Amino acid sequence: SSDLRGFPLWRAILRQLHQTGKQPAPTPEDLLFPGRVIGVATEPGALVIRSEHAFMRIDALAGNLILLRVSMDGRFLAPFSYGVCKDPGEWDRPDIQIEESQAALEVSAGDLALSIDRATSGLTLRTGDGHVLLQSPAGVGAHPPDGQLVWQARLSPETAFYGLGEKASALNHAGRAFELWNTDPALYDRGDDPIYMSIPFLVALKESITLGLFFDNPYRTWLELGTQNAGEVSYRATGGEFRLYLMSGTPREVMTAYTDLTGRTALPPLWALGFHQSRWSYYPDSRVQEIAHEFRTRHIPCDVIHFDIHYMDGYRCFTWDKQHFPDPISMLDELHGMGFKALSMIDPGIKVDPGYHVYDQGIERGAFISYPDGVPFTGPVWPGDCHFPDFSDPEVREWWGGLYRDLLETGVDAFWNDMNEIALITGSPHPTWVPDIVRHSREGQGAAHAEIHNQYALLMTRASRDGMRRLQPDKRPVLLTRSGWAGIQRHAMHWTGDNRSTWDHLHLSIQMVLNLGWSGVPITGPDVGGFAGGPSPELYTRWMQVGAFTPFLRVHSMISSPDQEPWAFGPETESICRDYIALRYRLLPYIYTAIWQSVRSGMPVARAMSFAFPEDKDTHSLDTQYLFGDSILVAPILEEGAVRREVYIPAGCWIDFWEDRTYEGPIRIAVDALLDRLPLFIRGGAVIPMWPVQQYVGERTIDTLTLHCYPSPSTHTSTLYEDDGISVDHTDESAHRVSLFETSRSDTSVRISRSVAAGAFEPGYRQITLIIHSLDRPPVSVELDRGDILQQEWDQETNKFSLTITTIGEFILTMVP
Ligand code: MIG
């Protein structure tokens, strides 16, 4: 009833409460560890252990996935989690073996075995064949006075660590400490932690064994990874249940297990993989049209123009500024007519403003997060004082989703959820400042902000996405988010927030995108050119080259920063950027396939070298080069003035994309790269599909598919996923097609064969151009098992043989012996 918000004392109390949210590490004497094992019980697929001070429950969910839960008071509530979309009860559990000896109990299922020491409840995790993965001599500890949880485990000192979400530091986390607490750093620098998106999923890699550790606990968490002793992990959370999913296998198997648990990305429409141009903010409407026309007259492909907060009326979400955008319907019609899509910002902060429909409805419904006395929490954001919807309430999610109706009907195609850490503009160095005592619904069960904080953006994007799907069931939703938690990949694509226009940030953007891939977030990318400041033409050019080879490609920049469109840096920059954006558009069938692989199995799209070559220790800390999809190795220039760099060519045969020169890895090479050159290497045996350049996706019917073939002596298979790029029913048999291209070569012949692995979709193209690279001799004969040859040509100078055919099945090329 009484509104205490104005009271300085109340503020002081809140500040203090916020500080306690940080909770100093408990003193060791106050910690309680499980101690001696007293009793053991088995359930189908599970083992329950009673120790002196704790209860443990071990569930084998799959042959390479074990769930360990620890409870001090013996209560194991239904394991509710916003991150997990497959409950322990839904798994088809493997048979488990339980071995009891004098000293220990061991549960094993397939590839993993967890043993519990009878004297201490200490834990040892092994592979099925006995190789020790981790040891935790004291087991999981608790701090009864305040509910903190602690756990320490020893892994091999050689272990490389990845994951944990968005981390602004080197890819391999070994030797570093991290906090998981979503925060708007208001521009970040290398080393700042935490920043926007925390994900409690850690990957530990030791040569051929990858171990995934998913701490399914949203509370504020700290992790130290080998800061004292190499390979030692120390975990501390301010509350919650200790619920740890352990999974093992190859990197791919671990990502599959993690995304079986937390879900996968839905296939975006193809246009979302095109080029996005943004700035804070394009207005008025005439400026938007001007930008759109520049792209088309300059022939720089572009699919999406972003509307940052200035399109709103006084920063009120779901409104238009009628002064600068008097006729949004016509403006969006015109953009659509030119082949553009419009993507608009929606923040969680709702202006406290009686008469504003979202505010009024929110108050009426009791939709905003509130103090325990029922007074809505107020915090300052762009429009001034704001309230924040409680997205942990199903009715609020439903209401929020419906709010998108007007903008969608006006013609907005996609959305962008920002500031959802929750970020407040308080002027303090820590703008994220919702006190822990603020209440949330948590599906009607009630929870403090401390529990919901890290999941707020996950829930906001869930509400936004569900609304978009309900309102436009025939469209694939496109949503972008800044913050998130485990499972965010189900709801939204991501960008890496407010970076800076510096060379180090160019490098950092690669480190972050690769690490996000290891964290289960496959579609992400940086603000190309940097958000704060202005890049030099050289930096902008190098960044665009990298951007063309990141899953999400967008130029964005901060209010009052210099223009950052591709033509803003003079003709040389413009022409190089045009070429790289065009190369991305040519590669769309390849990129779409990589995205589809992620949709299927949780694989990253931009893959760390360590992901692709885990058994090669030299890749474990490599974060200046990476794989984009299955077959393209990207090795960008990351230093000012540099025109040459070292590239680590991993095992196997790799072909320089520009020169067609072949390398046998592992080998370190130096390559030249003048400003217009991004070093790229193609995996031997690969078939790279390409389309003609379009100015936007769907500009015209694709009439020719070009297959760049790099046959190598060992047989290799490449994948191509195709559908119409837009329909929601793409999983239907007739709506998609997966083709496999198998290649091999001998001294005298090249063989390429296509088989259809799934689906019956018929793409619109009438012909296929095969370009066979690096033939050292001219071919003497061509054999096709179907279709006709329309044209063929041997290029003596480049050693390429190209031929255009009507369809492809089995194809054999014979050369002069
Ligand atoms: O406090 O909407 O990261 O991309 O341009 C800044 C204005 C709020 C932060 C986002 C940035 C966006 C900006 N927003």
* 584 token code pair: 């991305």
Whether omega before 389 lies within 30 degrees of 0, making that bond cis, reads: no
Q: Using the predicted structure, report yes or no on whether residue 65 has a pLDDT greater than 90.
A: yes
The per-residue pLDDT for 428 is: 58
Interaxial angle between packed helices 537-547 and 571-586, expressed in degrees from 0 to 180 and rounded to the nearest 10: 0
Mean pLDDT value across residues 622-637? 98
Residue 427 has what pLDDT?
62
Give the pLDDT mean for 441-452: 96
- Ligand 1 center to residue 279 CA distance, Å? 9
pLDDT at 22: 58
Helix axes of 394-402 and 456-471: crossing angle, nearest 10 degrees: 50
Question: What is the DSSP code string of 234-302?
Answer: EEEESSS-EEEEEEEESHHHHHHHHHHHH--PPPPPGGGGSEEE--TT--SHHHHHHHHHHHHHHT---
pLDDT of residue 23: 66
The number of CA neighbours under 13 Å toward the Cβ of 791 is 8
pLDDT at 426: 72
- Read off the pLDDT band of 26 (50, 70, 90): confident
Q: How many angstroms is it from 418 CA to the middle of ligand 1?
A: 7
Residue 565: strand, helix, or coil: coil
Asked whether residue 11 carries a pLDDT value surpassing 80, the answer given is: no
Q: Which atom of ligand 1 is nearest to the CA of 347?
A: 2
List CB contacts of 112: < 8 A, sequence separation 6 or more.
Answer: 60, 63, 64, 65, 66, 125, 126, 127, 128, 246, 247, 248
Rg (CA), the chain: 27
Distance, in Å, from the CA atom of 408 to the CA atom of 318, rounded to the nearest integer, reads 10
Q: Helix, strand or coil for residue 14?
A: helix
Run of H or E residues at 480: strand 479-481
Residue with tokens 């403090």: 448
Average pLDDT over residues 577-591: 98
Cross-strand bridge partners of residue 58: 47, 68
For residue 511, pLDDT over 90 is answered with: yes
Closest ligand 1 atom to residue 423 Cα is 1
Query: pLDDT class for 516, splitting at 50, 70, 90?
Result: very high
Give the amino acid at 493: M
* Residue 4 scores a pLDDT above 60: no
- 482 alpha carbon – ligand 1 mean position (Å): 9
Q: What is the DSSP letter of 497?
A: -
Predicted structure pTM score: 0.96
* Atom from ligand 1 closest to the CA of residue 308: 2
**Looking at residues 27-43, what average pLDDT do you find?**
91
Per-residue pLDDT, 18: 45
| Number of H-type helices and E-type strands within the chain | 14, 48
- State the distance from the centre of ligand 1 to the C-alpha of 286, rounded, in angstroms: 22
Residue closest via CA to ligand 1's atom 12 equals 280
Between CA 93 and CA 47 the distance in angstroms is: 13
For the stretch 385-413, pLDDT in tens is: 999 999 999 999 999 999 999 999 999 99
Ligand 1 binding pocket mutation candidate from 345, 419, 432 (most atoms within 8 A of CB):
419
Give the angle subtended at the CA of 375 by the CAs of 370 and 378, to the nearest 5°. 70
**Residue 674 in this model has a pLDDT that exceeds 90:** yes
Ligand 1 lining (C-beta closer than 6 Å): 280, 308-309, 345, 418-419, 482, 497-498, 556
Query: Looking at ligand 1, which atom is closest to the CA of residue 531?
Result: 4
Burial annotation 722-744 (CB, 10 A radius, 16+ → b, else e)? bbebebbebeeeebbbbbebbbb
Q: Are 600 and 264 in contact (CB under 8 A)?
A: yes
Given a cut of 50, whether residue 786 has pLDDT beyond it is yes
Nearest Cα neighbor of 509 from 523, 519, 524 is 524
Q: Which atom of ligand 1 is nearest to the CA of 556?
A: 4
* Residue 530: both structure tokens together: 């940097």
Residue having the nearest C-alpha atom to atom 5 of ligand 1: 280
The owner of tokens 């500890």 is 141
**187 alpha carbon to ligand 1 midpoint, in Å?**
10
| 315, 482, 498, best to mutate for ligand 1 pocket (most atoms within 8 Å of CB) | 498
Q: What is the mean pLDDT of the segment spanning 539-561?
A: 97
Share of the chain above pLDDT 70, in %: 96
**199 band by pLDDT with thresholds 50, 70 and 90:** very high
CA angle 298, 300, 304 (to 5 degrees): 120
What number is the average pLDDT over the span 447-469? 97
Peptide bond into 8 cis (omega under 30): no
Q: Which two tokens stand for residue 562?
A: 């210099």
Question: Phi then psi for 764, rounded to 5 degrees?
Answer: -75, -15
Rounded-to-integer distance, Cα 134 and Cα 231, Å? 9
Which among 676, 711, 685 is positioned nearest to 814, based on CA atoms?
Answer: 711
Alpha helices in 523-634 (DSSP H): 537-547, 571-586, 588-601, 609-612
Residues in CB range of 425: below 8 A, 6 or more apart: 380, 381, 382, 431
Give the span between the Cα atoms of 325 and 660, in whole angstroms. 51
CA distance 65 to 247: 4
The DSSP secondary structure of 729-796, one letter per residue, reads: TTTSGGGEEEEEEEEEE-SSEEEEEEEEEE-----S--EEEEEE---SS-EEEEEESSS-EEEEEEET
Sequence-distant (≥ 6) Cβ neighbours of residue 254 within 8 angstroms: 64, 203, 210, 211, 212, 247, 248
Q: Whose CA is nearest to atom 13 of ligand 1?
A: 280
Instruction: Let me know: does 591 contact 552? Beta carbons within 8 Å.
Output: no
User: How far, in Å, from the CA of 18 to the mean position of ligand 1?
Assistant: 24
**Six-digit token pair at 41?**
């019980």
Looking at the predicted structure, is the pLDDT value of residue 348 above 70? yes
Half-sphere exposure at residue 202, Cβ-oriented, CA atoms within 13 angstroms: 30
Q: CA-to-CA distance for 250 and 252, rounded, in angstroms? A: 5
Cα of 421 vs centre of ligand 1, distance in Å, is 12
Distance CA 326, CA 311 (A): 10
Residue 627 CA to residue 522 CA, distance in Å, equals 13
Strand, coil or helix: 17: helix
Distance 196 CA to ligand 1 centre (A): 12
Contact 702, 606 (CB under 8 A): no
Instruction: State in Å: Cα 551 to ligand 1 middle.
Output: 21
CA torsion 497-501-504-507 (nearest 10°) is 60
Ramachandran sector of residue 583 (left: φ over 0; alpha: ψ -120 to 50; beta: rest) = alpha
Residue that wins the pLDDT comparison between 429 and 798: 798
The answer for 797, left when phi > 0, alpha when psi is -120 to 50, beta otherwise, is alpha
Classify 458 as helix, strand or coil: helix
Q: Are 694 and 274 in contact (CB under 8 A)?
A: no
pLDDT at residue 8, rounded to an integer: 41
Does residue 598 have a pLDDT over 50?
Answer: yes
Pocket test for ligand 1, best of 276, 279, 281, 308 (most atoms within 8 A of CB): 308
Considering only CA atoms, which of 457, 460, 458, 435 is closest in space to residue 448? 435
At 116-173, the pLDDT tens digits run 999 999 999 999 999 999 999 999 999 988 889 999 999 999 999 999 999 999 999 9
Amino acid at 113: A
Closest CA to 61 of 111, 130, 23, 26: 111
> Hey, which residues does 368 pair with through a beta bridge?
389
Q: How confident is the model at residue 776 (pLDDT cuts 50, 70, 90)?
A: confident
Structure confidence by residue, pLDDT tens digits, 527-538:
999 999 999 999
Q: What residues are annotated to the active site?
A: 418, 421, 498
**Inter-residue contact 235 to 152 (CB < 8 Å):** yes
Instruction: Count other Cβ atoms within 10 Å, centred on residue 323.
Output: 9
Residue type, position 744, single letter: S
| Pocket perturbation via mutation, ligand 1, pick of 279, 280, 561 by most ligand atoms within 8 A of CB | 280
Q: What is the pLDDT of residue 16?
A: 46
Ligand 1: distance of its center to the CA of 658 in Å?
38
Pocket mutation for ligand 1, best pick of 315, 418, 428 (most atoms within 8 Å of C-beta): 418
For residue 649, give both structure tokens: 């060519």
Whole-number Å distance, alpha carbon 432 to ligand 1 midpoint, is 14
Q: What percent of the chain lies above the pLDDT cut of 90?
A: 90
**Atom from ligand 1 closest to the CA of residue 497:** 3
pLDDT at 741: 98
Q: What number is the average pLDDT over the span 247-267?
A: 98
What ligand 1 atom has the least distance to the C-alpha of 382?
1
Average pLDDT on 557-564 reads 96
> If you average pLDDT over every residue of the chain, what do you get?
94
Q: What are the φ/ψ torsions at residue 456 (nearest 5 degrees)?
A: -60, -45
